[in-house]
Amino acid sequence: MTLSQSALLNKDREARYNARIKRTLDELVPISEKITLLVHASANRAALKGLKSGMRLEEAKRSMGDRTRTGSSGYFTNIVLKNPHRSMTFYGKKGERVEILLYLTEVRKLDGAFTPEQFTPVHFINDRLSGWGWKSLQLLKEGKRLGEDCQSKLLEAQRIPKKLLGV
């Protein structure tokens, strides 16, 4: 084997190596994002068990984890998920402030497209926890309207590119 053949082999070897690295990254990053979604939803489900009716808003946020969760697939990328995913504030007829925090608690297709059923609303009246879950929200005086508003806002959010949502 001559020197020029050896250089060709090294170039070929390097090109194959770089192609393999790119293919690995293209496969691992989406898998890591899916695993992060599953872990995030599971952590939120577990945190719901620590909620108690009457808790103050800030205490409940701390219990659920008010910081952004970051997953990582090594040095490839960081995956940032907001917690809560969305929050909405409404005012009742008597002036009471109703705040609804939506937490991702279920992942079905692992494609990043969410439906309202994958979230659990945690609602507060005048900064006190009044309940969580879609059924609990329906029990509020204006619950049906609030539930519909929450679901429509979640569906509106699907039209925004995933990167802007932090997913």
The residue ranking higher by pLDDT, 3 or 98, is 98
Span of 6-20, 25-39, 79-93 with lowest mean pLDDT = 25-39
Average pLDDT of the chain to the nearest whole number: 77
Handedness of CA 132, 136, 140, 143 (dihedral sign): positive
Residue 115's pLDDT band, with cuts at 50, 70 and 90, is: confident
Q: What is the pLDDT of residue 163?
A: 41
The two tokens of residue 84 are 């809560």
The residue ranking higher by pLDDT, 163 or 130, is 130
Q: What is the pLDDT of residue 155?
A: 67
Predicted confidence (pLDDT) per residue in 65-110, tens digit: 866 666 555 554 566 778 898 888 888 778 888 899 999 998 877 6
The residue ranking higher by pLDDT, 83 or 8, is 83
Q: Which residue is it, tokens 């995913």?
A: 85
Distance CA 163, CA 141 (A): 36
Instruction: Say if residues 97 and 126 touch (Cβ distance below 8 Å).
Output: yes
Indicate the pairing of strand 69-72 with strand 128-132.
unpaired
Q: What is the pLDDT of residue 6?
A: 58
Q: What is the pLDDT of residue 68?
A: 66
Q: What is the pLDDT of residue 109?
A: 72
Span of 19-33, 68-82, 133-147 with lowest mean pLDDT = 68-82
Strand order in the sheet with 97-104: 86-91, 97-104, 119-125, 128-132
The closest of 108, 140, 93 to 121, measured between CA atoms, is 140
DSSP β-bridge partners for residue 129: 124
Q: What is the pLDDT of residue 164?
A: 34
Name the pTM for this structure. Answer: 0.69
